Amino acid sequence: MKENLSPKVKALYGAVLELIEENVDVRNVKVSDITGRAGIGKGTAYEYFSNKEELISSALLYHMDQICGQMMSDISGMEDFSESIHYILMCMDREISKRDCLIQFIQLLTDNGPISKLLHDKIKNNSEICIPQKLTEQVLQIGIRRGDIDGQLPLPYMRIAVMSKILMYAFYMTMEEDAAGFDRQQMHRLLCEGMLRELGRTDAKNM
């Protein structure tokens, strides 16, 4: 998603991401909360966006596009399914914003609220936006080319098999008490093995 953003719009988008990183449910924030965080006047937001939902949905898609776009660029040079999955999980471990943004993005995309409707419309009308589905498809293509996974399985099922485990990992790692002291590398390995078993690989070599 190529956009030439004004400094004020970037500041608004950055403020939304900061709120997400602080585990704030952006459905409950006010425009003034966002503009105050961005350091600009409330009226300025309405020069660019018609309402709060338009601002939040645009900010979420911008950040998701940035996150997934960078991951897709990095993964493009990989030839191993497990390596690409390990990379995504390590990114989520290293940069909390990737994990939190993904969780809120999925929540808002599926709750049938006004932000959800706007997100669906924007995705439908802009094929250049990089979203988790596209990232998942790239990872699956790596696995199919290498023969790690069964390319004859329905694509929607394969997406669910990968995305559900990644999303549940993201949720789990937000539960600090349960996650404390857990060997994340071991978790990465187990998740990769689980995906490969589910998607048709019959051996665990080259893990």
pLDDT digits (tens, 9 = 90+) for 88-132: 999 988 888 888 888 888 889 888 899 999 999 999 999 889 999
pLDDT at 145 exceeding the cut of 60? yes
**70 domain-assigned:** yes
Are 26 and 109 in contact, with CB atoms under 8 Å apart? Answer: no
- Per the domain annotation, does 132 fall within a domain? yes
Identify whether 130 is part of a domain.
yes
Residues spanned by the domain of 67: 52-198
Higher pLDDT, 129 or 201: 129
Query: What pLDDT, on a 0 to 100 scale, did the predictor assign at position 172?
Result: 82
Lowest mean pLDDT, pick from 55-64, 71-80, 136-145, 194-203: 194-203
pLDDT confidence of 201, banded at 50, 70, 90? low
Nearest to residue 33, comparing CAs of 50, 65, 48, 55?
Answer: 55
- Per-residue model confidence (pLDDT) at position 184: 83
Q: Is residue 119 part of a domain?
A: yes
* Stretch 136-145: mean pLDDT: 93
Q: Span 147-166, mean pLDDT?
A: 92
Averaged confidence pLDDT in the chain: 88
Confidence at residue 205, expressed as pLDDT on a 0 to 100 scale: 43
**89 within some domain:** yes
SS3 102: helix
* CA angle, 192 then 195 then 200, to 5°: 125
Residue 113 DSSP one-character state:
S
Joined tokens for residue 195:
């995906």
Q: Report the pLDDT value the prediction gives residue 206, as an integer from 0 to 100.
A: 45
- Cite the DSSP H helix spans in 22-131: 31-38, 42-48, 52-75, 81-94, 96-110, 114-125
In a domain, 39, yes or no: no
Q: Between 177 and 18, where is the model more confident?
A: 18
Instruction: Tell me what percent of the residues of the chain surpass a pLDDT of 70.
Output: 92
C-beta of residue 137 within 8 angstroms of C-beta of residue 75: no
In a domain, 43, yes or no: no
Give burial (CB, 10 Å; 0-12/13-18/19+) of 181: exposed
In a domain, 29, yes or no: no
Number of structural domains the chain divides into: 1
Residue 31 vs residue 2, higher pLDDT: 31
pLDDT band per the 50, 70, 90 thresholds, residue 185: confident
